[in-house]
Amino acid sequence: MNWKKTARRSAVIVAILVLSIVCALICKVVWDKIDRQRYPRQYSEYVSEYSAAYGVPEYVVYAVIKVESDFASNAESHAGAIGLMQLMPDTFDWVSMRLKRNSEHGMLYDPRTNIEYGTYMLSYLYMRYNRWDTAFAAYNAGHSRVDQWLMDPQITDEDGNLVRIPFRETEKYVKKVNDAIEVYKRLYYQ
C-alpha cells in the first residue's frame, strides 16, 4: 500500500513540475509577444541603413525612438523637438551643415531624414564621450551642458566619467533609454 501512495505522490509531483514548465514557457511566449507589440521595430529599413552607416547599434536607435516619440513621426515636444528622434531645429541645422546638406525644417517630420540625423547625432555624441550613458545625457540635455557637468568632480569619477546626473529629467531619460535597450536586446538581438 505504501508503494502505491509513494508512486501516486511522485506522479503528482512530476505532473505539477511538467505543468509548471509548460505554463512558464507559454507565459514567456505570451509576454514576448506583448513586448514585441510595445517595443516594435518600425522603420527598420532606415534604422538598419543609418545604424550601419554611423556605427550605432540598432537597439540603441530603436530605444531612443521608443523613448523620444514612441514611433510617432509627427511628435512635437513642448521644447520644440520634432519627429521620431525628437530633434531640435538647431540640432537639425547643425547636422545638415556637418553632412553638407540643405536644411528645411519640414524634413524633421520625414522618418528617413529624422532617423538619419538622430542616428548621426548619437554617433557623434558617442564618439565625443565614449560612453552611451553620457551620450544619452547629452542627447537629452545638450552636449554643452554635459561638458559643464563633466568638469564637476562631485558628479564624475576619477576617470572623468559622469556618474551622477544633476538634472532629474535627464537622469530619468537615460534610465528609460537603457531599460528600452535591454528589452530590444532581449526580444530581437540575442
**Which residues does the annotation mark as catalytic?**
68
Cα-Cα-Cα-Cα dihedral sign, residues 141, 146, 152, 158: positive
Adjacent-strand bridge partners of 51: none
Distance (Å) of CA 135 to CA 27, 60, 115, 122, 186: 36, 11, 16, 7, 22
Cα-Cα-Cα-Cα dihedral sign, residues 34, 36, 39, 40: negative
